[in-house]
């Protein structure tokens, strides 16, 4: 049976499933015995990383020639479509419904603060004007437009910070296999264009180094040119689905958790503060897959967003525009529904930081500007709940509360909750959702 999204998340949740297997447990145990416990101070985040953490929630956009086939962004590789045949998709790529402003407007209404567009994906086709570096780009397709420029303009108009996904692996460029150094020159020149032609950008998100794990990718040179032209840009390089949360090159600003729940990062003794970001598909594909019905609901997205913020990680949620470049209706509506939840819960979601306050099961606390917020799950028992987790209305005890509490109130309706404080344990009596409401995760402000 095909795994469901929830099975996948469970398997990927910080290797939790592996931990159950004898061999993996022994390996983990041995690693624990030999690896020194992290120690030392937690470094202060550089301003670009601090800004990134406060953006909290972003839109990932996977769009390219593959979108015309509607079977995911790996279709060329999975179906072994010969390059000569696949590259003809350039001649039917019109981008007739692509509108940077419309997409950025959806992100804004979704409560997303940044958007990461696939400027070039593994297929090798660029949505930007490569200015002579390649014949395989949007300006040389029937679209005849620089779509990255339109995306940037739309983002600026809607107050969304634009970022670029850029593949490092390339199924089109002949030098990728045969003449890797020449390929790297091409790749770096491509990235330099993105850093110099579009004004200030929020960051670059690379993906594909895992395809040649032992190659010399000349990361120093690539990241050096980004720092030179875009000193405030985040540098991210996806470590891939099997190496979530790993720390790579010293210039990398954030770890990635591809399709997996981020685990807390122990930053003690790290040479610099690194943020974390979980990216996730809304169904089971990044590029549009018209026969994939396995979609998340607003409830799933709210819970996943909270799970990310619980450990201080960002959440980068994917949309897969259609062949012509429009965001599919279901995706738009679902995002906007979550955006309504965020209108109520924005302050703790964007500004909240982990502060050592832990609740039962999925429940947790965050500190935003000195105010403590408690996130209470499963007030109506059921969805996503793990065995033994607290559920239903009633008392929930949060540990690690080192402040004197005078009131606890729900953010959604201002109702004051009964509470009891004993040393650092705060027990709050969670009330049920008032008839006519269900905000999935209920948040209380503590003062």
**Binding residue count for ligand GLC, defined by CB under 6 A:** 9
CB 9 within 8 A of CB 17: no
| Window 279-338: residues binding ligand GLC (CB under 6 A) | 279, 286
Taking the C-alpha atoms of residue 409 and residue 2, their distance in angstroms, rounded to an integer, is 43
Of 75 and 222, which CB lies nearer to ligand GLC in the complex structure? 75
Rule CB under 6 A: say whether 258 interacts with ligand GLC.
yes
Of 240 and 354, which CB lies nearer to ligand GLC in the complex structure? 240
Taking the C-alpha atoms of residue 106 and residue 98, their distance in angstroms, rounded to an integer, is 13
Q: Please state the closest distance from residue 254 (CB atom) to ligand GLC, in A.
A: 13
Alpha helices in 215-359 (DSSP H): 219-229, 298-310, 329-351
Q: Report which of 132, 130, 108 is spatially closest to residue 119, judged by C-alpha positions.
A: 130
Rule CB under 6 A: say whether 59 interacts with ligand GLC.
no
- Residue 267: how many CA atoms within 13 Å on its side-chain side? 17
Q: What is 137-150 written as a DSSP string? A: BGGGSTT-S-HHHH
Residues whose CB is less than 8 angstroms from the CB of residue 327 and which lie 6 or more positions away in sequence, other chains included: 102, 103, 106, 319, 321
Interface mask toward ligand GLC for 16-55; x: CB under 6 A: ----------------------------------------
Interface mask toward ligand GLC for 69-108; x: CB under 6 A: ----xx----------------------------------
Of 74 and 273, which CB lies nearer to ligand GLC in the complex structure? 74
Taking the C-alpha atoms of residue 428 and residue 443, their distance in angstroms, rounded to an integer, is 12
Rule CB under 6 A: say whether 123 interacts with ligand GLC.
no
Rule CB under 6 A: say whether 441 interacts with ligand GLC.
no
Handedness of CA 320, 324, 325, 326 (dihedral sign): negative
Position among 116, 130, 237, 238 found at the interface with ligand GLC (CB under 6 A): 238
Of 81 and 417, which CB lies nearer to ligand GLC in the complex structure? 81
Q: Please state the closest distance from residue 75 (CB atom) to ligand GLC, in A.
A: 10
Q: List contacts with ligand GLC (CB under 6 A).
A: 62, 73-74, 207, 238, 240, 258, 279, 286
């Amino acid at each position: 049976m095909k795994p469901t999204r929830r099975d996948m998340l469970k398997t990927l949740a910080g290797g939790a499933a592996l931990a159950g297997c004898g061999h993996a447990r022994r390996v983990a145990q041995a690693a624990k015995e030999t690896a020194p416990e992290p120690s030392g101070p937690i470094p202060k985040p550089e301003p670009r990383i601090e800004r990134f953490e406060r953006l909290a929630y972003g839109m990932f956009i996977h769009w390219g020639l593959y979108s015309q086939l509607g079977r995911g962004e790996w279709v060329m590789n999975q179906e072994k479509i010969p390059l000569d045949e696949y590259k003809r998709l350039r001649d039917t790529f019109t981008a007739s419904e692509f509108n940077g402003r419309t997409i950025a407007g959806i992100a804004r209404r979704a409560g997303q603060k940044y958007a990461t567009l696939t400027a070039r994906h593994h297929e090798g086709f660029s949505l930007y004007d490569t200015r002579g570096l390649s014949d395989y780009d949007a300006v040389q397709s029937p679209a005849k437009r620089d779509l990255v420029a339109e995306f940037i303009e739309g983002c600026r108009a809607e107050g969304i910070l634009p970022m670029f996904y850029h593949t490092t692996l390339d199924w089109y460029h002949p030098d990728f296999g045969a003449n890797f150094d020449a390929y790297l020159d091409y790749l770096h020149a491509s990235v330099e264009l993105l850093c110099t032609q579009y004004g200030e950008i929020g960051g670059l998100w690379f993906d594909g180094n895992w395809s040649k794990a032992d190659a010399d990718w000349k990361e120093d040179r690539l990241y050096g040119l980004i720092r030179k032209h875009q000193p405030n840009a985040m540098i991210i390089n996806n470590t891939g689905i099997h190496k979530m949360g790993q720390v790579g090159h010293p210039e990398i600003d954030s770890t990635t958790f591809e399709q997996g729940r981020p685990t807390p990062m122990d930053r003690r003794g790290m040479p610099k503060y690194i943020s974390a970001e979980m990216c996730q598909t809304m169904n089971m594909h990044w590029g549009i897959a018209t026969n994939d019905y396995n979609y998340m609901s607003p409830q799933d997205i709210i819970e996943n967003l909270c799970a990310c913020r619980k450990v201080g990680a960002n959440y980068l949620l994917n949309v897969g525009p259609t062949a012509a470049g429009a965001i599919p209706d279901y995706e738009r509506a679902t995002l906007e529904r979550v955006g309504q939840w965020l209108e109520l819960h924005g302050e703790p979601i964007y500004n909240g930081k982990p502060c050592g306050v832990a609740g039962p099961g999925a429940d947790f606390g965050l500190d935003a500007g000195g105010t403590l917020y408690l996130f209470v799950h499963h007030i109506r028992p059921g969805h996503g709940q793990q065995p033994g987790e607290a559920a239903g209305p009633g008392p929930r005890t949060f540990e690690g509360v080192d402040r004197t509490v005078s009131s606890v109130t729900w953010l959604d309706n201002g109702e004051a909750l009964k509470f009891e404080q004993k040393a650092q344990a705060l027990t709050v009596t969670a009330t049920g959702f008032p008839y006519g409401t269900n905000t999935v995760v209920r948040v209380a402000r503590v003062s």
